[in-house]
Structure 1
Amino acid sequence: MNCMAAWHAWAEKHKADIVMMGGPLGKTKKVSPTGIEDISNALGAFTVVRAASPEEAAKMFENHPHFAIFPGDSVEVMPVLAIPGT
């Protein structure tokens, strides 16, 4: 199975928990009180998933095809928090 077919198979397996497929990210602009500048970061793409905990979300990405496409790379998992006062 090629890398993209494996990626699509992963998405199909987890489609009930994928809230937003997301996609690749472009170049970064940093906006601060001093202005706008080009910067670099390690983010290459994003996907929003639904899980009972960050640990459960992380388990969804074990053996993800991303690792075959980008050897030595990783996936970072972080919760989306509620906006205070809403």
Structure 2
Amino acid sequence: MPRFAAVYTMQPEDVAAFRARPQSEQEAVDAAGLAAWGAWRQRHAAAIVSSDMMLGKTRRVTKAGSAAARNAIAGFVIVEAADIDAAADLFKDHPHIAIFPGDGIDVMPVLTEPPEDASA
């Protein structure tokens, strides 16, 4: 079955706004979000190939060297589905966007060879 990477995105300003809320509100959102995330994982356990991986601060490497960098990637998970639409449907009610301050989840095929269409 085809595999898809689902990349959780979160804008730095959304994280900052969330962290500016009272501690009790943050804790309530965290508790509700983690419970919902666990329930989401149980509902879709058959499709999940790898457990969720959350990511920390970025260091970008270029030909010129490496330096601290920022991006919107917060984490990822690998799932199996019949096609990209079915994979995307798995995430419609995901807590990353339904409860936490995530701004989106990008779903894309995991390729084992270069795509035929370079714009894919």
Shorter chain as denominator, the TM-score bin is: 0.7 to 0.9
Q: Does 1:42 align with 2:72?
A: yes
**Count of aligned positions:** 83
- 1:52 Cα deviation after fit: 1.3
* % same residue: 41
1:83 is displaced (CA, Å) by: 3.2
Asked if residue 5 in structure 1 is aligned to residue 5 in structure 2, the reply is no
Query: 7, 10, 29: which is aligned to 2:59?
Result: 29
Q: Is the aligned partner of 1:57 residue 2:90? A: no
Structure 1 CA distance for aligned equivalents of residues 49 and 55 of structure 2: 17
Q: Deviations over 1:2-60 (max 9, x none)?
A: 22111100000101110011321111111111111111111001111011111111000
Are 1:76 and 2:106 matched, yes or no? Answer: yes
- Give the structure-2-normalised TM-score: 0.64
Structure 1: segments with no counterpart, 5+ residues: none
Runs of 4+ in 1 over 4 A off after TM superposition: none
The aligned amino acid for 2:45 is K
SS at 1:56's partner residue?
A: helix
Larger Rg: 2
Please give the TM-score of this superposition, normalised by the length of structure 1. Answer: 0.87
